[in-house]
Amino acid sequence: GEDTYLTSVMGVAMIRGYQGADPGDPASLAACIKHFVGYGAAEGGRDYNSTNLPERVLRNVYLPPFLAGIQAGSMTLMTSFNDNDGVPMTGNRFLVRDMLRDEWNFKGFVVSDWASVNEMIPHGFASDQAHAAKLALEAGVDMDMMSFAYITQLGKQVEEGAVSEKLIDEAVKNILRIKFQLGLFENPYVQEDLHKEMFYNPAHMELSRQSAVQSAVLLSNDGTLPLNAEKIRSVLVTGPMADAPYDQLGTWVFDAQEQATVTPLKAIRDNYGHLMRVLYESGLNYSRDKGRTGIRKAVEAARAADVVIVFVGEESILSGEAHCLASLDLRGAQSDLIEALKSTGKPVITVVMAGRPLTIEKEVSLSNALLYSFHPGTMGGTALADLIFGKEVPSGRLPMTFPKTSGQIPLYYNHNSTGRPFLGNETMLDQIPLKAGQTSLGNTSFYLDAGAAPLFPFGFGLSYTTFAYTNIRIDQVSYNQKDTLTLSFDLTNTGKTAATEVAQLYVCDKTGSVTRPVKELKMFDRIALASGETRTVSWKLPISELAFWNLQMKRVVEPGQFELWVAGDSVSGEPILFEVKK
């Protein structure tokens, strides 16, 4: 996602999940937080490319999730491929040794990314492998992954006095410390049959289903969803992702058993086939397929169905490392498939399985409802069927902003304000009079052809019900820097369906020694409510959480005026003003 706080919370949860309460437990493993640091800000969105992030941006935006991970006890950390301001991360002494080790007191070990020690040579940062090994070790990288630079170069350099033996000892100690904590010297052999009770355990499969349910985001709905299985005589299931057991697992999946995957087609047939006729036409054989024959078959089948559910998106290989795209439109003829299905006049429900936000403005307009499930994993089909037919209620919220067009990127909610912020009433491209005079008066920061607003904002997601936030209040209007702000509000499920809302708290520092973001997420919670239920919610926010790295590169809470919002996404709600005193 794009948010510092959300990434921190999710990262800490993953570390605790991997390592457990006891890293020495045979079912636990050492977590590795990566990629350190700024890897998500590569120029042009191309993996391995350069970044240019000043120290203040690193400390305010990119580094806090790593610090949270270290404070949660992450045992290892991996450097990233990118150079930042001309210094490859695997050779960045300031960030790895000075900050990570000395400032943060990290006691785990640091590993390079795959061959990134050697890659400092094509970076132009190291002259040869011996130079690269020396730079990485001196920067604080303890383990060389797949460059074989340490094992082939460091011994000779120690003998020649070019590399300090103390640095070798330090790296070895860091690695051995983790091995001791993992119990690898007391129990060096794995229990080879342990995986049999872990892999595809029914309890784990149910958790997988719940995870897929809670992460799917309902982006649009004209009331078509949820479907009433008792009133539908026939449904067409179509699209290249409707029965793609391998691809719905997502990227970087090496040990998954494809035959264990429950696809949407299988789930709908198994759970609802006795209630209705389930038709199936793939429409397209895979997401990049440009053929038209399957589309014609799907349209013919749609005419015989009461409702159409089309599953589109990306094959797993199209996302993940080194699979960057300049266009984020649906690939192949998938958009044409949706348009052709819509032309039948039948209700069209679109489900998108993809590893990234796609530019789907057209597809949203063609769909009666659209669910975005990302790649939902092994139990994704069951989860999506449960959501479509109302056994479950959507509660997922977007962890990143969805652009209208890839030309808007980078696009994120927590941007700094400009001196000419977008107002929403600007003259757009098709509204400009012919031979209009050239002027910059009244202009704002926007695109003539796309405006400045996204297609869907960070934190957005619909439900099968509605929620109302009322009686929002804070316990004071003025706080000292050591105080804790108490926020209270009433949350009501105003619809007829029991559901879960994800309440979100945002804050804005109105004036700072450096420009501050227009909003920053500071807290969120999933709150389940019965139909008509109202619950009073109380949150506590330490004023210290408003700190940032200021003009003097010190982390402080600056006095001044602040705004606070509590709402269901990053653009809703009315601000509450409060003050922080010196």
Task: Name 419's Cβ contacts closer than 8 Å, sequence gap at least 6.
Answer: none
pLDDT at residue number 204: 94
- Report field, pTM of the whole predicted structure over 0.75: yes
Averaged pLDDT of the chain? 96
Residues 498-549: tens digit of each pLDDT: 999 999 999 999 999 999 999 999 999 999 999 999 999 999 999 999 999 9
- Helix (H, G, I), strand (E, B), or coil: what is residue 78? strand
Average pLDDT for residues 327-351, to the nearest whole number? 98
Total domains in the fold of the chain: 3
Q: Are residues 59 and 119 in the same domain?
A: yes
Q: Are residues 47 and 150 in the same domain?
A: yes
pLDDT at residue number 136: 98
Domain of residue 224: give its range. 200-388
- Answer yes or no: is 298 within a domain: yes
- Answer yes or no: is 504 within a domain: yes
Q: What percent of the chain has pLDDT over 70?
A: 100
Residues 231-283: tens digit of each pLDDT: 999 999 999 999 999 999 999 998 889 999 999 999 999 999 999 999 999 99
Residues 372-429: tens digit of each pLDDT: 999 999 999 999 999 999 999 999 999 999 999 999 999 999 999 899 999 989 999 9
Average pLDDT for residues 445-462, to the nearest whole number? 96
Q: How confident is the model at residue 474 (pLDDT cuts 50, 70, 90)?
A: very high
Average pLDDT for residues 127-134, to the nearest whole number? 98
54-68, 228-242, 431-445, range with the lowest pLDDT: 431-445
Q: Are residues 205 and 173 in the same domain?
A: no
Q: Are residues 479 and 359 in the same domain?
A: no
pLDDT at residue number 123: 98
Q: Are residues 106 and 213 in the same domain?
A: no
Query: Which of 181, 208, 230 corresponds to the end of one domain?
Result: 181
Q: Are residues 521 and 569 in the same domain?
A: yes
CATH number at residue 286: 3.40.50.1700
CATH number at residue 507: 2.60.40.10
User: Is residue 54 pLDDT above 80, yes or no?
Assistant: yes
For the four alpha carbons of 470, 474, 478 and 481, in that order, the dihedral sign comes to negative
Q: How confident is the model at residue 289 (pLDDT cuts 50, 70, 90)?
A: very high
User: Is residue 3 pLDDT above 90, yes or no?
Assistant: yes
User: Is residue 482 pLDDT above 90, yes or no?
Assistant: yes
Residues 565-577: tens digit of each pLDDT: 999 999 999 999 9
- Answer yes or no: is 416 within a domain: no
Of the candidates 340, 352, 344, 285, the one whose C-alpha atom is nearest the C-alpha of residue 313 is: 352
Q: What percent of the chain has pLDDT over 90?
A: 93
Q: How confident is the model at residue 344 (pLDDT cuts 50, 70, 90)?
A: very high
Residues 349-366: tens digit of each pLDDT: 999 999 999 999 999 999
Among residues 83, 113, 247, 509, the one annotated as catalytic is 113
pLDDT at residue number 302: 98
Query: Which of 343, 369, 388 corresponds to the end of one domain?
Result: 388
User: Is residue 5 pLDDT above 80, yes or no?
Assistant: yes
Q: How confident is the model at residue 441 (pLDDT cuts 50, 70, 90)?
A: low
- Answer yes or no: is 490 within a domain: yes
Q: How confident is the model at residue 162 (pLDDT cuts 50, 70, 90)?
A: very high
- The string over 169-183, giving b where at least 16 C-beta atoms fall within 10 Å of a residue's C-beta and e elsewhere, is eebeebbeebeebbe
Q: Are residues 176 and 217 in the same domain?
A: no
Query: Which of 343, 372, 388 corresponds to the end of one domain?
Result: 388
Contact 365, 326 (CB under 8 A): no
- Answer yes or no: is 194 within a domain: no
Contact 134, 91 (CB under 8 A): no
**Residue 47 is among the residues annotated as catalytic for this protein:** no
- Answer yes or no: is 248 within a domain: yes
**Residue with token string 């008792």:** 230
Q: How far is CA 111 from the centre of its chain?
A: 24
Q: Are residues 164 and 218 in the same domain?
A: no
- The string over 400-418, giving b where at least 16 C-beta atoms fall within 10 Å of a residue's C-beta and e elsewhere, is bbbbbbbebeebbbbbeee
Q: Are residues 256 and 327 in the same domain?
A: yes
d(CA 309, CA 512): 50
Q: Are residues 204 and 175 in the same domain?
A: no
Backbone phi, then psi, for 307, in 5-degree steps? -150, 150
- Answer yes or no: is 350 within a domain: yes
Instruction: Say which amino acid occupies 396.
Output: G
pLDDT at residue number 13: 98
CATH number at residue 89: 3.20.20.300
- Answer yes or no: is 407 within a domain: no
Q: Are residues 57 and 18 in the same domain?
A: yes
d(CA 394, CA 464): 7
Q: How confident is the model at residue 170 (pLDDT cuts 50, 70, 90)?
A: very high
State the alpha helices, DSSP H only, in 44-128.
55-57, 64-71, 93
For the four alpha carbons of 512, 513, 517 and 521, in that order, the dihedral sign comes to negative
Average pLDDT for residues 86-102, to the nearest whole number? 98
19-33, 80-94, 522-536, range with the lowest pLDDT: 19-33
Q: Are residues 254 and 313 in the same domain?
A: yes
Task: Name 171's Cβ contacts closer than 8 Å, sequence gap at least 6.
Answer: 109, 137, 141, 142, 143
Average pLDDT for residues 201-215, to the nearest whole number? 97
Contact 465, 499 (CB under 8 A): yes
